[in-house]
Amino acid sequence: MRERYHKHTVLAMCIRRCHTARMSGFLPFRIDFGARAIDDLHRRIDATRWPDVGFSTGWSTGTDDAVLRDLVRYWRRDFDWMAQQEQLNRLAHIRGPVEGEELHAVLYQGAGGAERLPLLLVHGWPGSFVEFLDAAPLLAAGIDGPGYDLVVPSLPGFAFSEPPRAPGMHPGQMAERLHGLMLALGYERYGVQGGDWGAIVGTALALRHPEAVAALHLNFVGGRPPAEGEAMSEEERAYREFRQRFEAEETAYSRIQGTRPQTLGYAQHDSPVGLLAWILEKFWAWTDHGDDLWATLDRDRVLTNVTLYWLTGSILSAARVYYETAHAAERVLGPRVEVPTGYLRLPAEPWRAPREVAERGYNLVHFTEGERGGHFAALEQPDPYARDVAAFFAGFS
């Protein structure tokens, strides 16, 4: 069940940029899921066939049953999608064709008179543009200076961007789509920020279009191993030992989505509780938190993100990025990135490669060890995230 798109009056501050986009076929739209869609969601939640777990496993075998049931109760009884939808519709959304398929983005125009480098903020899986709802206004308003113009897209197959109609939509192809979006908006030179798949797509953008990508900021770096004969530091050795343990216990989702996403997708597309359980596990495993996940994350933000996956029916088309990357006919990433790169390394990020690893793959000119935060940097710590992003790109305006 997809949303209905309508022309509407976009926020006045984005009229100029939206006019440029309209010339390329982009139109403003509003999200318009009605009571019928929410009634169907509630009906399916009410009809959930819950398993008898038998005893408390915590998170050791997957999503904690007690945490999930509590969140489902909140989703069904207290979460107000209509209020969230109203807030989302206060933003400037556009949607239009890039290479023949519809792409969605949210636009923010920076405060202040100075013309600054526009920034492309790219999400990953199981995220969406919702990850940036708190951090983007901080960057647009300006931190220690004028604000930035921001473009926050939905990757192809995610949320309001159309599912690809042919195989092969790997991060390199996604990078081409996002570059096309920026050109449609009139931005020939821009900065890119990303984590998770957003970091991989951003890396591909920097490799494919170094003439357009002025600088690249990442909060996720996997990192290539040292060359033959090159010494490995104790920090890197410890990181790779951690990653080996992590891969063995925490990446079954990636192997499934990289090999047979279709089979799992039917269950997730049909069961909202199944969808929530799959995504919730990642928010637990990859974020910086204590015993209470909601002391770190806002439940409504997480449920808005999950509800978007549900209402747009995009969980399968989004998960296919794993399959397309694993089966790409071309090399997705290539040589070292020479575009100036910043790296925000956060303590609870599972893919927190040491600085020396990042320097192996990128022209690293900015490095920050964050005090708190994990995989979803903009969602978990919007203020420190925005400050580091702003400080890095200030040198490239």
Active site residues: 196, 322, 375
AA letter at 9: T
What residues pair up with 216 in beta bridges, in sequence order?
192, 341
292 vs 279, 288, 297, CA distance in Å?
17, 11, 9
Tell me if 182 sits within 8 A of 151, measured CB to CB.
yes
Helix (H, G, I), strand (E, B) or coil at 306: helix
The C-alpha torsion from 156 through 159 and 160 to 161, rounded to 10°, is 0
| Euclidean distance between CA atoms 260 and 251, whole angstroms | 14
36 with 58: CB under 8 angstroms? no
First to last CA, the chain: 42
Question: Residue 47 has what DSSP assignment?
Answer: T
- The b-or-e profile of 297-329 (16+ CB within 10 A means b, else e) is beebbbbbbbbbbbbbebbbbbbbbbbbbeebe
Q: In the chain, count H helices and then E strands.
A: 16, 9
Dmax over Cα atoms in the chain, in whole Å?
63
> How far is Cα 304 from Cα 61, in angstroms, rounded to an integer?
26
Alpha carbons 95 and 195: distance in angstroms, whole number: 23
> φ, ψ for residue 340 (rounded to 5)?
-55, 130
**Residue in the block written with tokens 């995009």:** 314
What does the alpha-carbon distance between residue 315 and residue 71 come to, in Å, rounded to a whole number? 19
Distance CA 309, CA 268 (A): 10
For residue 26, what are its two tokens? 């982009």
Cα separation, 28 vs 105, in Å, equals 10
**How far apart (Å, rounded) are the C-alpha atoms in residues 94 and 91?**
10
